[in-house]
Amino acid sequence: MSAPGIGWVLGYTIAAEVGDITRFPTPKKLVGYTGLCPTVDQSGGHDRRGELARNGPKYLRWALVEAATHAAHHPVYAARYQRTKTRLGRQRGASVPLK
* AA letter at 86: T
The answer as to whether 62 is a domain residue is yes
Q: What is the pLDDT of residues 25-54, one digit of tens each?
A: 999 999 989 988 888 888 888 888 888 888
The answer as to whether 88 is a domain residue is yes
Its pTM stands at 0.71
> Residues of 24-42 as b/e, b for ≥16 C-beta within 10 angstroms?
eeeeeebeebbbbbeeeee
Domains identified in the chain, total number: 1
The answer as to whether 75 is a domain residue is yes
Q: What is the pLDDT of residues 51-79, one digit of tens each?
A: 888 888 999 999 999 998 888 888 888 88
The answer as to whether 37 is a domain residue is yes
Q: Residue 12's pLDDT is what?
A: 94
The answer as to whether 29 is a domain residue is yes
The range of the structural domain enclosing residue 50 comes to 8-92
